[in-house]
Structure 1
Amino acid sequence: MQVLQVQLEVGPDPAEVGRARRWARSRLVGSGIGDDEPLAETLILLISELVTNAVVHTGCPAVLRMLFGSAGAVGTVRVEVADASGCPPQPRHAEGDDTNGRGLELVDGLADRWGWQPEGAGKQIWCEVDSGGPLTTPAAVVPAGPVVVQGALFGVQRTATGATGVPVAPVNGSGIAQSRNA
């Protein structure tokens, strides 16, 4: 199966988050996902949170990628944000009046799966949203090696499988994959 991958370089300025949202919305429409569909709204919110985290917490440029199945196929949309910081994401629980600190909680609640892995000297944080049809996640999109699977926000450890159905397991704690459906 073919995968369409689109990518945007995002500068280290919080104003870039709005540009990333506009760019992503146009790419979703181009992939056949209507901009008023709930799937599009969910993906735009996830993109906004992941890009904001990368730009605000690292102060470095980031790269936003979206991966879609072949034209007309229904399945999984994957969002990846890579940055130059090797520090793992730090989920936290925001209190009632806090004005920030909810980004990864939103990602955990809205994405079907999410996680992070080292990428070069930095890291990549990714999430996947199933569009309601058969899964189209290609093997090339699944991390090359096994990853730790756990619900870091809620302390729940789970087992997950990659695109081939083979369980993924810890590799020296180098990354975390999280799945609500695992």
Structure 2
Amino acid sequence: MQVLQVQLEVGPDPAEVGRARRWARSRLVGSGIGADEPLAETLILLISELVTNAVVHTGCPAVLRMLFGSPGSAGSPGTVRVEVADASCRPPLQRHAEGDDTNGRGLELVDGLADRWGWQPEGAGKRIWCEVDRSAPLIQVQMRPGPHAVATQGAGAPVVGPQATADQRIATGATGVPVAPTNGSGMAESRKA
């Protein structure tokens, strides 16, 4: 199976997040994923969160990679993988934001939107990755005023905040989802059931 990999170097400046989004959007279109498809919006949001985490929390340059056609855990050729590598050896920390907090929801959002995600050491730093299966039903997130977002899966009824199922976890801070456990080697992974 052929895998298309594209990558972008990202500087340690918060303005680079917007540049990474624009670059990723053009690469998604080039890979056959329409700019207005829900999959594209999900991937752009995941990319935005992972690049923001790298830039804001490490202060180091990073490399954004997108892999199209990579096999997922089930060997699906329809998997899109996003990776962000940085020079910091500090593992990612999944925080749980409270109420009106403006920070601390990034990895919860990644956990809620990606089919799988994790991290592993890379050189002197680390690589955080997530995968979205192109054939899987997507979770749509609508932000509303207040501490809870609303998630719907496919054409399903809305699921609000703490009532969300494991497959509908969203960045509310109310799910109580622990950080992905490591296996002792510094690698962590989260998979949807």
TM-score tier by shorter-chain length is 0.7 to 0.9
What is the match of residue 8 of structure 1? 8
- Deviation sequence 1:94-152 (CA, Å, 0-9, x none): 0111011100000000000000000000000000000107xxxxxxxxxxxxxxxxxxx
CA gap of 1:155–1:100, structure 2 versus 1, over 3 A, is closer
Aligned with 2:52: secondary structure?
A: helix
User: 5+ unaligned residues in a row in structure 2: which ranges?
Assistant: 71-75, 137-175
User: 5+ unaligned residues in a row in structure 1: which ranges?
Assistant: 134-152, 159-168
CA gap of 1:157–1:105, structure 2 versus 1, over 3 A, is closer
Map 1:107-122 onto structure 2 (within 5 A).
107-122=110-125
What is the match of residue 64 of structure 2? 64
The question of whether the paired residues in 2 share the 8 Å contact of 1:74 and 1:132 is answered with no
CA gap of 1:104–1:120, structure 2 versus 1, over 3 A, is same
The question of whether the paired residues in 2 share the 8 Å contact of 1:61 and 1:84 is answered with yes
Q: Name which of 52, 68, 82 aligns with 1:79.
A: 82
The question of whether the paired residues in 1 share the 8 Å contact of 2:119 and 2:188 is answered with yes
Stretches (4+) displaced over 4 A? none
In the TM superposition, residue 67 of structure 1 has moved relative to its aligned partner by: 0.1
Paired residues in the alignment total 149
TM-score, normalization: structure 1?
0.77
Hey, what's the Cα distance between the residues in 2 that align with 1:2 and 1:58?
33
Identity of aligned residues (%): 81
TM-score, normalization: structure 2?
0.73
Is residue 2:182 matched to residue 1:179?
A: no
Compute the RMSD of aligned alpha carbons: 2.0
